[in-house]
Chains A and B, each alone.
Chain A
Amino acid sequence: MSAITVAPPQTPASPRTNSNSSSNSNSHGLLKLTLTELKLLTRERVRAALPIAIPLILIVILGNIRSLRQPQAIYGGESFIDLYTTTMVVFGLALLALTNMPMMLADYRERGVLKRLQTTPIGPARVLAAQLMADLAVAVVMVVAILAVARIGFAVPLPRQVGGFVLAAALAAAALLSAGLLIAAIAPTGRVARGIGGLLFYAMMFFAGLWLPIPSMPAVLQHISHATPLGAAVPALTAAAEGSMPTALQLGTMAGWAVALGLAAARFFRWE
């Protein structure tokens, strides 16, 4: 058996606190881990493609219906497809954060991937950070793709209040990813995570007005809607798309959910 390249051991009696080189190797590790997650995502073809493909397919199908492209008085002069594009942004984010991510994490935990990483210097926080960053990268690609297809294919104007749109989308993503983390935290297996995620997805999308637009809901439901993360996200994104800043209440609602769900996830997260 040939020689093995193991560096000479350091003296055991001198615990080093060389935080400099540690943090260097760990930020490198974080980047590597994020890229690895992305690479793995692209290999899970179906799993990675669905959250991006489904909203795009819906836009293409509905965009091809002529009447849905006509400006309507009830939509304040916008066409159905204009409004629907915003809904699809939220739809895609929710699909990614509530079904993909928790399933992936719960699956990792079930298989001991997380526990193994826990024994390395990378540390638990960076493992989750890498997962979130990878999902965020996919989210950015998805939002850009949705806006581009809607703009190029169906003349849907790009968001007029870009800063407001980015801010609202980022907060919506944060709230959704926190919810996804919480699901991953409490679900014992990937299968259960998918079940809970699916349920939450439909509940949240209902309040986001996917089936019944929020303005058409009874007053009570409208109030409930506005208090949910996506019920706040859709009007916020719509406002930004039409050129005005989202309200502080909408942004605050999303931020509040992000913090609350994130704290709960951190509280309940298990590595094995």
Chain B
Amino acid sequence: MSPVIEVRQLHKSYGDTVAVDDISFDVQQGEIFGILGPNGAGKTTTVECIEGLRSPDGGQVTVLGLNPQNHRAELTQRLGVQLQDSQLPDKLRVDEALDLYSSFYRNPADWRSLLEVLGIKDKAKTRFGKLSGGQKQRLSIALALVGSPQIAILDELTTGLDPAARHDTWELIENVRDRGVTIVLVTHFMEEAERLCDRVALIDSGRVVAIDTPANLAEGVETGQRIQFRPSVPLPGQLLESLPDVTDVIYRGDVVVVTGNSNALNAVTSALARNQILARQLRVDQANLEDAFLALTGRPAPQTQPAKQGA
């Protein structure tokens, strides 16, 4: 299947600041594709090039076979957008906003049922300025979907929402995807990317660090396992440090945190057993997307720069 979005060697600078250095990825039809990265990584600039709001300095962007710069009229019909920090006039009512936006499209969705799905039907007559943060966010999702787009780009979708609203929103996004809409999700929430995305592009300093499923990304992290426990007696010096499967040992008061490869748990428990030490409150963490992110972006990454905490 040919991708619905192709980004090739995208480059974009603002003056001396390089926002996007070299980014390439494909988005397949029907998937939820995450663009994940810290603030200032170039996520928003990348999607704004896809939306046609910015012209790339280098590289190529193709969306639904269209050039976002040259085919704006057609692209905007088929691409729904939720912008980070964009507002509506305070005195515009929710129903008026949806009615207005749906008049721009040749094939609009029924905005009344969108309101219902998004749980803001009772706010139809409310002015934008009187909506809560969560309600504004829902309205902006509704506006992104009102043109019946084939692709929806959602930038920082759940920022500012409380946990309950966030989970509702995730459910909604999955629902929209199940209807055949391809979704590009820009986020800096690991949990959101892990929960929603079929594939994730990790972006850091304007470059793609990795593209894979959240599970594969987490699996590929060399941190392997993190074992945390409270030993029954203080550990003899270098007992765990000398184990080949262990990469790092941190003492936090009487808690010991061991990181190592996938065999580390076996090695640690055997070493403790040999010395008749009990491991109390034992906890083993698998690496998640967050660890993958830390590892891949080279920020305080556990296996390359062991944190020296405690004593």
Contacts and interface: CB of A to CB of B under 8 A. Distances in A.
A40 interface: yes
B126 to A, nearest CB: 14
A223 interface: no
Contacts of A14: 65
Contacts of B147: 120-121
Nearest to B74: A15
- The CB with the most chain B CB atoms within 10 A, among A6, A22, A24, A39, is that of A6
Interface stretch (A56-64, A82-90, A109-117): A109-117
B181 A15 contact: no
A191 interface: no
Interface in B90-130: 91-92, 96, 99-101, 103-107, 109-110, 113-114, 116-117
Interface stretch (A25-33, A173-181, A204-212, A247-255): A25-33
B309 interface: no
Contact of B73 (A22, A113, A118): A22
A112 B83 contact: yes
B77 A6 contact: no
Interface residues of A, number: 44
Contact of A6 (B72, B78, B96, B109): B109
Interface in A4-59: 4-10, 12-19, 21-22, 24-26, 28-29, 32-33, 36, 39-40, 43-44
A12 B175 contact: no
A113 B92 CA distance: 11
A152 interface: no
Given A1-B175, A6-B179, A29-B103, A12 B150 contact: yes
A113 B105 contact: no
Nearest to A36: B100
Interface string B63-90: 0111000011110111101010111110
A4 B104 contact: no
Contacts of B52: 119
B148 interface: yes
Contacts of A158: none
Given A12-B64, A123-B73, A7 B87 contact: no
Contact of A119 (B76, B89, B92, B100): B76
Q: Which of A1, A14, A112, A119 has the most CB of B within 10 A?
A: A119
Contact of A113 (B86, B114, B145, B180): B86
Contacts of B103: 25, 28-29, 32-33
Contact of B77 (A3, A13, A22, A113): A22
Contacts of B71: 15
Interface string B162-192: 0000001001100110011100000000000
Nearest to B1: A12
Given A12-B4, A33-B100, A116-B88, A7 B109 contact: yes
A18 B106 contact: yes
A118 to B, nearest CB: 6
Interface of A: 1-10, 12-19, 21-22, 24-26, 28-29, 32-33, 36, 39-40, 43-44, 108, 111-113, 115-116, 118-123
6 contacts: A1-B171, A4-B109, A9-B150, A119-B76, A121-B73, A121-B77
Interface of B: 2, 4, 29, 51-53, 64-66, 71-74, 76-79, 81, 83, 85-89, 91-92, 96, 99-101, 103-107, 109-110, 113-114, 116-117, 143, 145, 147-148, 150, 168, 171-172, 175-176, 179-181
Given A4-B117, A10-B150, A121-B77, 6 more contacts: A4-B145, A6-B179, A8-B180, A39-B96, A108-B89, A119-B52
